[in-house]
Structure 1
Amino acid sequence: MFDLTGMTALVTGASGGIGSAIARALAAQGARLAVSGSNAGKLRAFREELNSDFGAKGGGDHVEITCNLSNSDQVEHLVPAAVDTLGKLDILVNNAGVTRDNLAMRMKDEEWDEVIRINLEATFRLMRAAARPMMKAKFGRIINITSIVGTTGNPGQMNYCAAKGGITAMSKSLAQELASRNITVNCIAPGFIRTAMTDGLPDAQKEALNAKIPMGRMGEGEDIGAAAAYLASREAGYLTGQTLHVNGGMAMI
């Protein structure tokens, strides 16, 4: 079940905590990956790790494609580069994103613009580009990583919440446009996920965060990777326009 052998995937922000967990989950199920990110050295090291651990099962070497999502020209070339390298594109995972937190009264225009450009606009451009080869193939899986705060809001993150909520709305619209071509478009909304950043928090702050979660702990990157592997699979073919909230019960939506 959830076997992705023979399928190809492009994962953005792949060398980060959640992104690498998603990439590893897809590769473990047999997909061949194009991993993308802006840090060439970090991305190359991760691609080599993927090839060492999962290269053979994926039917060929995984590849890396460096892309700065704030550069519209690079964004426009990312999907065509993935298709050229992989031969086709079955799965797109829009995971990359940035935060530029500030209270609304203090938020600078550039803090708003950067988050919207990278988190929302780049996701739109990549979905638009991926839709073309997927429509020709009459198959595709588009998975967008949003956030619980795109539903609940969060003080100091008007820009980030707007971008994540916008991705959810875009996904529902595109899901309706592409459903007849056997292409699904879904979101995963993580709650608190344990990362290198959260590991550095004081114990008291970690305890306060965990107290908000009925399961009493933060999630792991693997929890998001498992959700992505399901949504990418053939078995998830009747699920589209939906958001999987992976948050340990912190918000039951």
Structure 2
Amino acid sequence: MFCSDYSNLASDVALVTGSSGGIGSAIVTELKGLGMTVVGVDNTGTELGAEDHLITADLVAADMDELVDEAEAACGKPFDVLVNCAGVSVDTPAEDLRRPEIERVLAVNLVAPIELSIAVGRRMLEHGYGRIVNITSIHGRAGAIGCLPYDASKAGLDNATRTMAAEWSRRGVLVNAVAPGFVRTAMCTDERLAQPWFTDGYVSSGRLPLGRAATPDEIARPVAWLASRQNTYITGQVVYADGGLYSTF
């Protein structure tokens, strides 16, 4: 269905936040495999070897225009692609939440990607081309116990994706989101996925049609396609990479 010739991506430059995380590092690897130059942004300073350049920054505290200036200087040209992947969560019942927890999750997961998208998007609009992909979550569409700030942040980012697409697509900047379900990462380990809440509640029950969690590269592949020049018409969409989870109830 999709063209497999990515030879026109060799000059493209991508900025990926959360680049040392499980999904983020897989996205970096996938974009690099398509020939893009990739600048990673992460608050840990952990370099996994795939990024061409790594910037250590706290996205909540950063001046986004200065961050983009630094990133563009590192790679020598404006960005063609932005992937907002950085995210945090808390596992706290709603009645026990306090403002600092709520504000931190919303700041990282919602405010920072909006601000960075605006900073990068302005420059993309000047050049008449850009691809922005936000990593949201199935939590943006379905709530979960103990995840109130996370759920709210991802729902907000879904709608921010649609609004930016509505405003920018005619000027060459396509904006989409990829919403994973369960993914094998440091936060969702094999040990955790072996517990009854997952094996009985999702796998044995048939609630998760594919019967397993995704690997990070299975999330990275649709992200890379949406971020590529092969994507010429898809915009304003939230693509659910969830193994069919949301198809059941």
Q: Normalising by the residue count of structure 2, what TM-score does the alignment of the two structures yield? A: 0.90
Is structure 2 residue 69 aligned with structure 1 residue 80?
A: yes
Residue in 2 that maps onto 1:69: 59
Q: 1:238 aligns with which of 215, 230, 233?
A: 233
- What secondary structure, in the 3-state scheme, does the structure 2 residue paired with 1:244 have? strand
Residue in 2 that maps onto 1:199: 190
Question: 1:104, 1:69 → 2: CA distance?
Answer: 25
Question: 1:66, 1:98 → 2: CA distance?
Answer: 17
Higher helix proportion, which one? 1
Residue in 2 that maps onto 1:216: 211
Residue in 2 that maps onto 1:37: 42
Letter in 2 for 1:96: A
Question: 1:166, 1:216 → 2: CA distance?
Answer: 28
Distance 1:69 1:201, change over 3 A: same
Give ranges in structure 2 of 5+ residues lacking alignment.
none
| Displacement after TM superposition at 1:2 (Å) | 5.5
- What secondary structure, in the 3-state scheme, does the structure 1 residue paired with 2:177 have? strand
Question: 1:128, 1:177 → 2: CA distance?
Answer: 12
Residue in 2 that maps onto 1:162: 152
**Conserved 8 A contact 1:147-1:191:** yes
**Conserved 8 A contact 1:2-1:234:** no
- What secondary structure, in the 3-state scheme, does the structure 2 residue paired with 1:218 have? coil
- What secondary structure, in the 3-state scheme, does the structure 2 residue paired with 1:152 have? coil
Residue in 2 that maps onto 1:54: none
- What secondary structure, in the 3-state scheme, does the structure 1 residue paired with 2:245 have? coil
Letter in 2 for 1:179: S
| Displacement after TM superposition at 1:76 (Å) | 4.1
Q: Normalising by the residue count of structure 1, what TM-score does the alignment of the two structures yield? A: 0.89
| Displacement after TM superposition at 1:84 (Å) | 2.1
Is structure 2 residue 86 aligned with structure 1 residue 99?
A: no
- What secondary structure, in the 3-state scheme, does the structure 2 residue paired with 1:65 have? strand
**Conserved 8 A contact 1:2-1:233:** no
Equivalent residues, number: 237
Question: 1:2, 1:144 → 2: CA distance?
Answer: 24
Give ranges in structure 1 of 5+ residues lacking alignment.
52-61
Question: 1:50, 1:148 → 2: CA distance?
Answer: 27
| Displacement after TM superposition at 1:155 (Å) | 1.4
Distance 1:5 1:150, change over 3 A: same
Question: 1:229, 1:2 → 2: CA distance?
Answer: 13
- What secondary structure, in the 3-state scheme, does the structure 1 residue paired with 2:247 have? coil
Letter in 2 for 1:134: M
| Displacement after TM superposition at 1:78 (Å) | 2.0
Question: 1:180, 1:219 → 2: CA distance?
Answer: 34
Letter in 2 for 1:203: A
| Displacement after TM superposition at 1:70 (Å) | 2.3
RMSD value, Cα: 1.6
Residue in 1 that maps onto 2:243: 248
Distance 1:238 1:107, change over 3 A: same
Residue in 2 that maps onto 1:13: 18
Question: 2:215, 2:237 → 1: CA distance?
Answer: 21
Distance 1:78 1:214, change over 3 A: same
Question: 1:232, 1:137 → 2: CA distance?
Answer: 16
